[in-house]
Amino acid sequence: MNTKNMLYPHVHPLKPVSYGPDFPIIVRGEGIYIQDTQGKVYLDAISGLWNVSLGYGNPKINEAIINQLDKIAYVNPIQHSNPTTVKFAEQLLNVVPDNIVNVIYTCTGSESTELAIKIARKYNQLKSRPHKNKIATLDLSYHGTYYGSMSISGVDREVSSEYGPNLSGMIFLPTPVKRYPNQANSDSIDEIKEELHNIFNQDGGNIAAVIIEPVLGSGGSIPLTVEYVQLIKKFCRQHDILLVIDEVATGFGRTGKLFGFEHYNIEPDVLCLSKGINNGYLPLGATLISSKIYETFISHNTQIEHLSTQNGNPLACAAGITSLEIINNDKLLKHVTNIGEYLRNEIFNTLQSHKNFSETRGKGLMLGIELVKNKKTYQCLSYQQISELVNKFTQKGLIVYPFFNQPRTTGIHLFPPFILTYEEANKIVKIIKKVFDNTIY
């Protein structure tokens, strides 16, 4: 089915509104594979949109949803609750640090980070410091496409400005990847330290929250260093700033730990979740808050003004319960770490001599392949070149995902499901080799 020239009945995300897709129309999925209307099978190396962590058609999750469906599919979250919704909240609290005491359900990652902004600002209002309302994030961060979450995202700021005015009071911190054309390897931690010191010395008293991703997803699979995160933690403590960890992409095993923040010896004040929370079966997210936030709201006898009709949907939570039971397993998490390292090394060994290859990076099964026009200057590939490359992989039966953040970093993501075998990892590498053997920019 070629729908390119047909009147298409719905708008595709992040595409022109007139776009009629000529990409595959998917009808089936099993394990790490998906199948289109023409019967062609693809290895999905990005787990849907980074959320189908346990693969397609997991029988245990299917059964959990069916069992809940036989009981009740929806409960009004304002006037009622449901045992499944309550149970999943309890399970989430059992796997996070003890300072996290309460769960607020959302439907998406964008909603989770949007809510974090609201909580941080109201928390400081309740603490009688309304001036403390700025939000600091990284300049290569991505936190969503809702109004607030778009406003705090460092990437695509030119695009988000077209919907302006965006929320005010945003501060963008330097991301520890500072490669620009003709400035190779200018990612000195000393330069970044100085810049951070200047920002927090000037504005620390006005910042309500710092929001970080342990590994920047859309920014290019950039893992933050321990030193960088500890600096952020230090500044948050010095200036009484809430530390918000956006684990929408990194959470639920993606980095080889249940949560990405576990790599850094930190505890969040607010934790934002979605994507792998229930293996992508149904829309679900959550924003978890610490005792100091919870107790502040309690002491003022006030509420958190936030609601979506489907928050805490029992079907979505049933899928979440079973997904968490499967993922919270030392053997599976170790597999994610080991096979992720194997895949990253094999790709490096395969591509290291290629003209356009810069590096592989990431944690666990959250991998990025950075691509450049020139290894000496780190000049990025163009949007058209990255798009062409993604299409070549699709034609070869491998689904990858682009990142494009000129002039800083461009390339492709690989976020395979956790059930990836070594044989399948080798298959990914083989296809990558075939594509790059016939592609030079």
User: What are 17-68's pLDDT values in tens digits?
Assistant: 656 567 789 999 999 999 999 999 999 999 999 999 999 999 999 999 999 9
- pLDDT for residue 281: 97
- pLDDT for residue 19: 60
Average pLDDT, the chain: 94
Encoding tokens for residue 434?
């075939």
- Please determine, for residue 195, whether its predicted confidence score (pLDDT) is greater than 90: yes
Q: Transcribe 150-162 into DSSP letters.
A: HHT-STTHHHHGG
- pLDDT for residue 187: 52
Length of the chain: 441
With both helix axes pointing from N to C terminus, report the angle between 330-351 and 422-437 in degrees, rounded to the nearest 10.
Answer: 20
Q: Which one, of 216, 267, 254, 439, lies nearest residue 336 by Cα?
A: 254
Give the pairing type, strands 134-138 and 207-212: parallel
Report the alpha-carbon distance of residue 214 to residue 224 in Å, rounded: 6
Report the alpha-carbon distance of residue 419 to residue 55 in Å, rounded: 7
- The pTM score is 0.94
Give the residue carrying structure tokens 């058609």.
57
Residue 186: pLDDT band with limits 50, 70, 90: very low
- pLDDT for residue 8: 66
Beta pairing partners, 366: 363
Distances (CA, A) of 291 to 100, 187, 268, 296, 307: 6, 37, 11, 8, 21
Q: Where are the alpha helices (DSSP H) in 280-421?
A: 291-299, 314-327, 330-351, 383-395
DSSP strand E in 41-129: where? 41-44, 100-106
For a pLDDT cut of 70, what percent of the chain falls above it? 94
Residue 29, Cα to own-chain centre: how many angstroms?
22
